[in-house]
Amino acid sequence: MTSMTADFTPEGTTEISRVLADTPSAAELADGGYLTGPEGQAVASQMRESQLREALLLGRCGGTNDVNAFYQLNEEPAEEWMTRRELTIAQYCAPCPIAAACLELALRYPEHPRDLAVRGGTTEEMQLTLSKADHERLAKACALDARPAEQRVERLRPAREVKRLTQSHIGLSVKPDVLKTNHTELKAAVAHHERLQGEYRRVTGWAA
């Protein structure tokens, strides 16, 4: 794990990417205190959905049976709920080691229907305000989250092409004068496939 000397201002996103690349797991980020407070928000904003969900497993509420602490009960008067949720935030979210990741996930993928859930140490009203203020960035983050699935489909096409060319282009029945051309085509198809595979690995893992 890289020592905590990184620049976590919005201008420091390259630095954050480097820290994420050097950090193999959400547990290490949480242990290092990288997922709380304003710095944690900057880090979480650079994480992919799968990484945020991995972090969520480390949330302080993870082991509790008191799920209702995070939701307004049916028929519960608003004032009672507001008092109760402040206690929830103080008891669970304030000391939670991954609160920033939790909030980032809630802002990117809000629950439907909205049911007044406490997330990342914030009330739903606050989540709505933050979503609105950060709408463009969140939309871009969601688009990046979707890239691995899209790239997987893109990657399968050239993989099939490599297989087809291998079967039809370099067999014993192929005439020697066309064999050289076929080899060139096959090499280009393999290189294309490898490039897509590299890109796919970069967007799915912790690599920058």
Residues near ligand SF4, by CB under 6 A: 56, 59-61, 70, 92-93, 96, 98-99, 102, 118-121
**Residue of minimal CB distance from ligand SF4?**
59
Please report how close the Cβ of residue 58 comes to ligand SF4 at its closest, in angstroms: 8
Please report how close the Cβ of residue 137 comes to ligand SF4 at its closest, in angstroms: 20
Q: Of 120, 126, 116, which Cα lies nearest the Cα of 72? A: 116
Q: Which residue has the tokens 């914030």?
A: 122
Q: Closest CB to ligand SF4 among 130 and 189? A: 130
Q: Is 89 helix (H, G, I), strand (E, B) or coil?
A: helix
Q: Closest CB to ligand SF4 among 121 and 148? A: 121
Q: Closest CB to ligand SF4 among 29 and 61? A: 61
Contact, 105 vs 52, CB < 8 A?
yes
Please report how close the Cβ of residue 79 comes to ligand SF4 at its closest, in angstroms: 22
Please report how close the Cβ of residue 119 comes to ligand SF4 at its closest, in angstroms: 5
For 181-193, the DSSP string reads: HHHHHHHHHHHHH
Q: Closest CB to ligand SF4 among 23 and 123? A: 123
Sign of CA dihedral 154, 19, 52, 143: negative
Q: Closest CB to ligand SF4 among 59 and 158? A: 59
Please report how close the Cβ of residue 158 comes to ligand SF4 at its closest, in angstroms: 40
Task: Tell me which DSSP letter residue 70 carries.
Answer: G
Which residues, 6+ apart, have CB-to-CB distance to 4 below 8 Å?
32, 33, 34
Please report how close the Cβ of residue 145 comes to ligand SF4 at its closest, in angstroms: 19
Q: Closest CB to ligand SF4 among 71 and 197? A: 71
* Bridge partners, 122 (sequence order): 119
Contact, 117 vs 111, CB < 8 A?
yes
